[in-house]
Amino acid sequence: MKYISKLLLSSFLAVIAYPAFAAWEALPDKAPAPEDNPTTAEKVELGKMLFMDPRFSSTGTVSCNSCHNIMEGGDDSRSFSMGVHGKMGGRNAPTVWNSAFHSVQFWDGRADLLEDQAKGPVTNPVEMGVTEIEMAMNKVRAISGYKPYFEKAFGKNSMTVENAAKAVAAFERTLITPNSAYDRYVKGDKTAMTIQQIRGMNTFAKIGCTSCHSGAAFNGPKMPFGQGFYAKFPTFVDSKYIKQYNLLKDKGRESATGKPGDAHMFRVQTLRNITDTAPYFHNGSVNDLSEAVRLMAKTQLNQDLKDKDVADIVAFLAALTGEYPEIKMPRLPSTPGQSVLVEK
Amino acid sequence: MKYISKLLLSSFLAVIAYPAFAAWEALPDKAPAPEDNPTTAEKVELGKMLFMDPRFSSTGTVSCNSCHNIMEGGDDSRSFSMGVHGKMGGRNAPTVWNSAFHSVQFWDGRADLLEDQAKGPVTNPVEMGVTEIEMAMNKVRAISGYKPYFEKAFGKNSMTVENAAKAVAAFERTLITPNSAYDRYVKGDKTAMTIQQIRGMNTFAKIGCTSCHSGAAFNGPKMPFGQGFYAKFPTFVDSKYIKQYNLLKDKGRESATGKPGDAHMFRVQTLRNITDTAPYFHNGSVNDLSEAVRLMAKTQLNQDLKDKDVADIVAFLAALTGEYPEIKMPRLPSTPGQSVLVEK
């Protein structure tokens, strides 16, 4: 009897905290910002306006929010994003939620900062489709109602591309989702996660997911801006998944650096709110989270997971979905009596 | 001296209130609703979610808000709206703000109610592009998070197209912009409008704009739902504007009814917030409000306005821009771990 109690107790403890990986971290309340762009309320407000405003795209139909919908999971529910004229990009839109916790931006890490990232899609021909970024900025300048917002955020004569990007980045740094069941659990509320979720958390660590998906955002150790944390995906190429989901087509970071050594290297993605960001992976090829877990175990860790382990890990991943803050819709200024879209 | 005072006084009075048109009305605080769809907070919340959610369009990229952007003037700043795959519609998107005060919907009045209107764009091949409206509704049903919102608004087993449309209409009935300078003026605050605006208001009435643009929303007299107030546009066809802006191409209401007598008849549009809804007219052909005023005077009233009168009327029209209410962004439910967009 005593022995049975002990056994129960020890297995209970094993469920509570698997010793192989102790550094579980809660999401910070604030995201780090670069020294030259401290986050202020004025920048955040302006950034929110610019983020939501489709009028700067070549057609006037595509905003940052079109592909990174903050009313939902910060993405677009599509495999590949769709920009102006129905054109399709080549990679899945990563969520903007908690993107401030990435030390580099884009799947291939080609931008060091959100400030740099924000400028990319504007002139991408399959995204916002503007020929030169100054043309988009001229549309912003043509909307007189934006001027006071720039002045409040950056001072006089501040309607520049650099400041627009800074404002958008400042806004994005507020898009964080604390207080998930997982966060409450690691802060001490041992009832915040279910037994299955705790079991999934331990399996997640035990099989080695945490060798990449560590840290508060589950995207690797904290790094200085510009220094990315990458992993080769896929690492093991002898499974059915490779062909089924076309996983060797995209060369990953090699496309950004031109270095063969960067082939198939991808920035390690955050797992936060992953229940809200299907479909999965850089090519959005997997629609189902269970399948994504199975695939990752096989291609990254060369393991065939049992259905029970998959279900446990999926349950744990659901515990990473946090609280989305309430956001007031911005009021986008008009140009009294003129459309900014008409080319003159 | 006495005579001069009298003259000054009478011209001052003339500026204050032009006697030819006395029935200036402020915007009501609430919009009328049909008997079978009283506006409730639960419907409004669900309707806001559906209005903002692009996932029901064929591409997952177009929501009601794409063409009727409530963060701006309730339209899309484009001549013709752009739907899925960059396809273009044939008419300018009318503002959704204060659309609840129209007794019929669409430029040609082909829908009696907002409830009917809301269903149109879903299956329009150049708007949301879904083949059958039930296919869009199946996507809503696939998002389990919508179910409790339907239940709160309409009771059990209520996830139907009819209820979705009712919810969207209920939300749209809250999109009203009271308390413009004009509203404050007609409610008694005689300082709310500038002298120029008051002069413009009187010119507006004197030259006959009010024969169509009357009532609280400046879209004609109050009518029962389904009974539209239409006007022939253009009425006078002997001006440069006809060809310049291609005003005879669109047959207007005839395209809805098939009756030759309805040729070029259009529902009279609201003028509220007109400073925020360029470009103008059913074909969005005029970008500038001054030009729009000049054109209307010529094509509808056969008058050539002086520049001063145009400027005064434009100033008055700016006084019709009201207060947009603050709106909290809805949180759109996800389907845990699956994208609703992937066809199975």
Instruction: Confirm or reject CATH 1.10.760.10 for domain A41-172, answering yes or no.
Output: yes
B127 is annotated as an active-site residue:
yes
* A148 half-sphere exposure, CB direction, 13 A CA radius: 3
pLDDT-derived band at A343 (thresholds 50, 70, 90) equals very low
Asked whether the beta carbons of B123 and B133 are under 8 A apart, the reply is: yes
Instruction: Let me know if B29 is exposed, middle or buried by CB neighbors in 10 A (0-12, 13-18, 19+).
Output: exposed
Q: B85-120: per-residue pLDDT in tens?
A: 999 999 999 999 999 999 999 999 999 999 999 999
Which secondary structure element, helix H or strand E, spans residue B141, and what is its range?
Answer: helix B133-142
d(CA B202, CA B192): 15
d(CA B46, CA B64): 14
Write phi, then psi, for B176 (nearest 5 degrees). -125, 150
Residue of chain B with shortest Cα separation from A343: B287
Comparing CB atoms, the residue among A76, A87, A334 nearest residue B275 is A334
Contact status of B341 with chain A (Cβ, < 8 Å): yes
9-68 of B, contacting A, C-beta below 8 A? 52-55, 59-61, 66
Contact status of B261 with chain A (Cβ, < 8 Å): no
Inter-CA distances, B82 with A84, A333, B86, B121, Å: 10, 21, 6, 12
- Quick one: which of A53, A56, A79 has its CA closest to A66? A53
ipTM score assigned to the predicted complex: 0.91
d(CA B232, CA B210): 15
Q: B295-313: per-residue pLDDT in tens?
A: 999 999 999 999 999 999 9
Q: A207-261: per-residue pLDDT in tens?
A: 999 999 999 999 999 999 999 999 999 999 999 999 999 999 999 999 999 999 9
What is the token pair recorded at A283? 């090519």
Percent of chain A at pLDDT > 90 equals 89
Give A265's strand partners.
Answer: A232, A252
- Give mean pLDDT, residues A2-9: 47
Which secondary structure element, helix H or strand E, spans residue A230, and what is its range?
Answer: strand A230-232
Query: Which regions of chain B carry the CATH code 1.10.760.10?
Result: 2-28+184-318, 41-172
265-294 of A, contacting B, C-beta below 8 A? 274-276, 278-279, 287-290
d(CA B248, CA B229): 20
E strands in chain B: 230-232, 265-267
**What is the per-residue DSSP string for B153-205?**
HH-TT---HHHHHHHHHHHHTT------HHHHHHTT-TTSS-HHHHHHHHHHH
pLDDT-derived band at A103 (thresholds 50, 70, 90) equals very high
Asked whether the beta carbons of B212 and B249 are under 8 A apart, the reply is: no
* C-alpha dihedral, B242 to B245 to B251 to B252, nearest 10°: -110
Contact status of A78 with chain B (Cβ, < 8 Å): yes
pTM for the whole structure: 0.92
Residue of chain B with shortest Cα separation from A321: B336
Q: What angle do CA B59, B64, B70 make, to 5 degrees?
A: 135
Contact status of A73 with chain B (Cβ, < 8 Å): yes
pLDDT at B7 over 50: no
pLDDT at A132: 93
E strands in A17-130: none
What is the token pair recorded at B40? 């409730």
Q: B123-143: per-residue pLDDT in tens?
A: 999 999 999 999 999 999 999
Which secondary structure element, helix H or strand E, spans residue A232, and what is its range?
Answer: strand A230-232
pLDDT at B17 over 60: no
**Which of A48, A72, A281 is the best residue to mutate to test the B interface, defined by the most B CB atoms within 10 Å of its own CB?**
A72
Query: Which regions of chain A carry the CATH code 1.10.760.10?
Result: 2-29+177-318, 41-172
Residue of chain A with shortest Cα separation from B52: A71
Q: What is the mean pLDDT of chain A?
A: 92
What is the token pair recorded at A286? 């997997």
Q: Hey, is A338 helix, strand or coil?
A: strand
Question: Which residue type occupies B131?
Answer: T
Other CB atoms within a 10 A radius of the CB of residue A158 amount to: 18
Residue of chain B with shortest Cα separation from A331: B71
**Tokens 């005003």 label which residue?**
B247
Is the model more confident about B305 or about A7?
B305
Please answer yes or no on whether A69 and B328 come within 8 Å at the CB atom. Answer: no
Asked whether the beta carbons of A317 and A293 are under 8 A apart, the reply is: yes
Please answer yes or no on whether B72 and A334 come within 8 Å at the CB atom. Answer: yes
Contact status of B78 with chain A (Cβ, < 8 Å): yes
Report the topology of domain A2-29+177-318: Cytochrome Bc1 Complex; Chain D, domain 2 (1.10.760)
pLDDT at B21: 52
A332 to chain B, minimum CA–CA distance in Å?
5
**Which of B339, B341, B342, B344 is the best residue to mutate to test the A interface, defined by the most A CB atoms within 10 Å of its own CB?**
B339
**Which of A342, A343, A344 is the best residue to mutate to test the B interface, defined by the most B CB atoms within 10 Å of its own CB?**
A342
d(CA A112, CA A20): 32
Please answer yes or no on whether B71 and A338 come within 8 Å at the CB atom. Answer: no
Q: A124-167: per-residue pLDDT in tens?
A: 999 999 999 999 999 999 999 999 999 999 999 999 999 999 99
Please answer yes or no on whether B77 and A60 come within 8 Å at the CB atom. Answer: yes
Report the topology of domain B2-28+184-318: Cytochrome Bc1 Complex; Chain D, domain 2 (1.10.760)
pLDDT at B328 over 60: yes
d(CA A293, CA A320): 15
B277 to chain A, minimum CA–CA distance in Å?
7
Residue of chain A with shortest Cα separation from B291: A337
Which ranges of A17-132 does DSSP label H, i.e. alpha helix? Answer: 41-52, 64-67, 114-123
pLDDT at B260 over 70: yes
Question: One of A25, A42, A45, A127 is an active-site residue; which one?
Answer: A127
pLDDT at B339: 79
**Which of A97, A288, A329 is the best residue to mutate to test the B interface, defined by the most B CB atoms within 10 Å of its own CB?**
A329
3-state secondary structure A119-130: HHHHHCCCCCCC
Comparing CB atoms, the residue among A54, A86, A336 nearest residue B59 is A86
d(CA A254, CA A341): 37
pLDDT at A10 over 60: no
Question: One of B42, B45, B127, B326 is an active-site residue; which one?
Answer: B127
Comparing CB atoms, the residue among A73, A79, A336 nearest residue B334 is A73
Comparing CB atoms, the residue among A71, A73, A82 nearest residue B59 is A82
pLDDT at A317: 98
